[in-house]
Amino acid sequence: MNARLTGGMAWVLYATTGAIMLFVLAPLAVIVAMSVSANAFAAFPPRGFTLTWYGKVLADPEFLASLSFSAALAACATAGALLFGLPAAFALTRASVPGREALRVLLLSPLIFPVLVIGVALLRLFSDWNSNSAPLNLLIGHILVTTPYVVRTVTASLLLADVSLEEAARTLGAGVWRVFRRVTLPQIAPGVAAGALFAFMVSFDNYPISMWLADARYVPMPMLIYRQVASIFTPAVPAISTLMILFAFIMVVVMERLTGLRRAMAM
Amino acid sequence: MTATIAQYPASRIFTWRLLRRPGTATLTGLALALPALCFLGVFLWIPALRLIAAGFLTQDSRGALGGPVTLSHYIHFFDTSLYAHVLVVTLRISLATAAIAAVLGYPVAMVMTRSHPAIARIVTFITIAPLIVSVVVRTYGWQLILGNGPAGLLNYVLLSLGVIQSPLRLLYSEAAVVIGSLHVFLPMMVLPLASAIGKIHPRLEEAARTLGMPSWRVFHRVTLPLSLPGLAVGFTLVFSLTAGSFVTPAMLGGTNAQMLGNLIDQQITAVYDWPFGATIASVLIAIVVGVNLLSMRMLDGRRRAGA
């Protein structure tokens, strides 16, 4: 059922969409252009061509510490999100639970709360508990905001997987665990992988949780960039930002290969 | 976002028949969801309730919260013109962003669902890819474009073309925050719209066209009404996400376009007034939950009317 756009209206739609795509790409393109400018200030037009800023960034211990901390945090948060999210998605699609709709709303509730407010509430909780370990506090916060994405993507994959295969395997005498490992998992693996990557990026990019729970020793990447932008201009900011953009685009290509982007987002 | 997930028809939800020995399946189901529910309970619902409660408590000189229970923080919030103004600005920016996103979202969603697969793929890629780039980075890009003074990209271009004689003040305004928020949240409008438009049978539009309707009327009479559930989901998402944002107003709005998020940060980090910070957070929660409930009821009503 593929209706194509035709006629004069089609050209209006294509032109408008083209303009909107330019709007979407413009700020990213500008950052990339500035990152190789020889100007020491972010001023237009960019002058010359240099890779000096990249060399400076990659040799900056503060940047490297922040990068490795963010990557480790995102990896652990993703593992946690899978640990909580996978079984929850199974409960939503493969078991007969009372009040499925309510359960779904509860599981996805971190998406409704403003992320910033989740951060404040956690700060309050951790200070009452005297929980001073910034990495642990950040991990809990990040698991909280990444889990719903895993639940959503995996639920969508499970709804598309063929249940009759699972039932056939059960009839043939395979145990529940074996059916999961040999029949269900292979079918949903791309969806799970895409959901995990998405969760990783949600954690890697998070600012509104980290701003409350980070301390001076553990600074996630988005906070490092925010601080450098807010302070006196350092020409390294466009270079760091370009690296972040590059990383994100690589991840998007991988997700697109795995399941297609719209399915990865389950929207 | 719950609404998008809630759209799966119940018939698509199968259960393992063989798991369904009476009683055990329910227990298994609950056991599977239990770890996630406990985690959410301890680290989201209870802390959120405690935060809301803090808005009714009093803070003593050592910073401890306790009695007496009071409404004074709410009265203070709604009675002080500065705070009431921030509330109005927040609502205004969120409403403008959601409305403009809807207007921009339709053409993109239609191209995404109704064009050559290669074009559709590229448009999907460009729409979603920036979503994976940190908001801080994207907003920084807008700072470079909207920069006040002759060195901002837009000012530079307009000055070079001779359109303006002196640089415009673009940055640190409500308009700048709306532009930045649009950029951040446009995909949240496009994706639900695309999934709603994708579900409309093309024959309906074809029939209308065959009967002589001009394209814009086909859109107005067929596509638009049938995609309203997607529009409701997208509008709710963009509105609530914008209302709760912090980075965009902080980097593009400055002191001229403060939003509730910035006020919360100020009260808790700088003033260290927990009850008042909690009050503002509760107002924000009320706005977001209210908009979500409203849209869920609308969608439910439609589904029931359709059935």
Residues contacting residue A199 through CB under 8 Å, at least 6 positions apart: A77, A78, A81, A82, A85, A146, A147, A149, A150
Using a CB-CB cut-off of 8 Å, the residues of chain B touching A20 are 104, 107-108, 186
Provide the angle, in degrees to the nearest 10, between the axes of the packed helices A7-35 and A236-258.
130
Structure tokens at B17: 């028949």
Least confident of B33-47, B104-118, B293-307: B293-307
Please indicate, yes or no, if residue A3 is contained in any of the structural domains.
Answer: no
In this complex, which of A17, A113, A205 lies closest to B111 when CB atoms are compared? A17
Name residues whose C-beta falls within 8 Å of residue A261's C-beta, 6 or more positions apart in sequence: A252, A255, B124, B125, B128
| Whether A267 and B116 lie within 8 Å, measured CB to CB | no
Identify which of A115, A24, A146, A198 has the alpha carbon closest to the alpha carbon of residue B242.
Answer: A115
- Residues with Cβ within 8 Å of residue A232, at least 6 apart in sequence: none
* Closest in B5, B35, B142 to A108, CB measured: B5
Within-domain flag for A4: no
What CATH number is attached to the domain comprising A173? 1.10.3720.10
Domain count, chain A: 1
Note whether A103 contacts B: Cβ–Cβ < 8 A.
yes
Nearest residue, CB atoms, A13 vs list B111, B131, B151: B111
**Full DSSP string of A169-230:** HHHTT--HHHHIIIIIHHHHHHHHHHHHHHHHHHHHH--TTHHHH--SS---HHHHHHHHHH
Residue A245 has its nearest CB partner, among B13, B39, B137, at B137
From B65's Cα to the closest Cα of chain A, the distance in A is: 11
Peptide bond into B68 cis (omega under 30): yes
> Are B186 and A24 inside 8 Å of each other by CB?
yes
Q: Which two tokens stand for residue A115?
A: 């992320």
Interface test with B, best of A6, A14, A17, A163 (most B CBs within 10 A): A17
For residue B108, the chain A residue with the least C-alpha distance is A17
In a domain, A59, yes or no: no
**Per the CB < 8 Å rule, is A107 touching B40?**
yes
Nearest to B25 among A24, A96, A261 (CB): A96
Q: How confident is the model at residue B286 (pLDDT cuts 50, 70, 90)?
A: very high
Q: Is the dihedral of CA A86, A92, A95, A99 positive or negative?
A: positive
What is the helix (H) or strand (E) element at residue B58, kind and residue range? Answer: strand B58-59
Cβ–Cβ below 8 Å for A109 and B40? yes
Distance (Å) from the alpha carbon of B76 to chain A's nearest alpha carbon = 20
Question: What distance in Å separates residue A234's CA from the closest CA in chain B?
Answer: 13
Place of tokens 């446009």: B186
* Structural domain harbouring A145: 68-243
In this predicted structure, what is the pLDDT of residue B226?
87
A residues 159-198 near B, CB within 8 Å? 159, 163, 166-167, 170-171, 176, 198
CA distances A127 to A54, A137, A159, B232, B262, Å, are 39, 10, 41, 39, 21
Q: Could you give the ipTM of this predicted complex?
A: 0.89
Q: Is there a contact between B63 and A138 (Cβ–Cβ < 8 Å)?
A: no
Give chain A's end-to-end CA distance (angstroms, integer): 20
Taking the Cβ of residue A36 and every Cβ of chain B, the question of whether any pair is shorter than 8 Å is answered with no
Residue A102 within any structural domain of the chain: yes
Q: Nearest-CA neighbor of B129 among A196, A247, A73, A31?
A: A247
**CA nearest to B245, candidates B188, B300, B171:** B188
Structural domain B75-306, CATH architecture: Orthogonal Bundle (1.10)
Answer yes or no: are the C-beta atoms of B202 and B244 closer than 8 Å. Answer: no
Which of chain A's residues have a Cβ under 8 Å away from the Cβ of B18?
A: 167, 170-171
In the predicted model, what is the mean pLDDT of chain B?
86
The pLDDT value recorded for residue B111 is 93
Residue owning tokens 């700048």: B176
Task: Name the more confident of A101 and B301.
Answer: A101
Give the residue ranges of DSSP H helices in chain B.
2-6, 24-40, 46-54, 72-79, 81-114, 117-128, 135-146, 153-161, 174-199, 202-210, 215-218, 224-226, 228-243, 247-248, 260-265, 274-306
Contact list in B for residue A262 (CB cut-off 8 A) is 124, 128, 191, 194-195
- In Å, how far is B8's CA from the nearest CA of chain A? 9
Pick from A112, A140, A152, A253 the residue to mutate for testing the B interface (most B CBs within 10 Å). A112
Q: Is the pTM of this model over 0.90?
A: no
pLDDT values of chain A reduced to their tens digit, one per residue, 267 residues: 445 676 677 888 999 999 999 999 999 999 998 888 877 666 677 777 888 888 888 888 889 999 999 999 999 999 999 999 999 998 888 877 778 888 988 999 898 889 999 999 999 999 989 988 999 999 999 999 999 999 999 998 888 888 888 888 888 888 878 888 888 888 899 889 988 999 999 999 999 999 999 998 899 999 999 998 887 666 788 899 999 999 999 998 998 888 877 777 766
